[in-house]
């Protein structure tokens, strides 16, 4: 059994900005990589499918049909979500299983809302 996740280089709460505060260049770089991983509709659907799966875990074998893509294509998309640190991948026997990384979401989500505070 192997588990893979790419650790974030950013500190927790990097992207929670006070009113009048401008995001630091290093945090902007990090955030841009996250948003790039989410800049494809299939990857957004895949993230949503994993988040909504029973127990918060989805087998790649259950992800191909809903997005109507081949397994190699889904694997390619999943690799990008894993590399962005948004999901973890665990190989169990024949299949890979994925989970959303709550810390990564909590770290990145506040940036958008901080722009309208």
- Residue pair 18/24 in contact (Cβ under 8 Å)? The answer is no
Q: Return the residue of 16, 45, 57, 75 that touches a copy of itself, per CB under 8 A.
A: 45
Q: Return the residue of 3, 11, 39, 70 that touches a copy of itself, per CB under 8 A.
A: 39
Q: Return the residue of 47, 60, 74, 96 that touches a copy of itself, per CB under 8 A.
A: 47
Q: Which of 84, 83, 108, 81 is nearest to 23 (CA)?
A: 108
Rounded to the nearest 10 degrees, the angle between the axes of helix 71-83 and helix 41-52 is: 80
9 touching a copy of itself, by CB under 8 A: no
Q: Return the residue of 11, 12, 35, 70 that touches a copy of itself, per CB under 8 A.
A: 35
13 touching a copy of itself, by CB under 8 A: no
58 touching a copy of itself, by CB under 8 A: no
The full length of the chain comes to: 117
Give the separation between CA 48 and CA 93, rounded to whole angstroms: 24
């Amino acid at each position: 059994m192997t588990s893979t996740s790419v650790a974030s280089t950013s500190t927790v709460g990097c992207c929670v900005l006070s009113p009048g505060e401008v995001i630091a260049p290093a945090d902007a770089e990090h955030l841009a990589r996250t948003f790039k991983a989410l800049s494809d509709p299939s990857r957004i659907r895949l993230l949503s499918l994993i988040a909504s799966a029973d127990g918060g875990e989805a087998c790649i074998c259950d992800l191909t049909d809903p997005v109507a893509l081949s397994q190699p294509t889904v694997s390619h998309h999943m690799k990008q979500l894993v590399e962005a640190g948004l999901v973890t991948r665990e190989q169990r026997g024949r299949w890979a299983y994925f989970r959303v990384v709550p810390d990564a979401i909590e770290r990145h989500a506040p940036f958008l809302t901080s722009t309208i505070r």
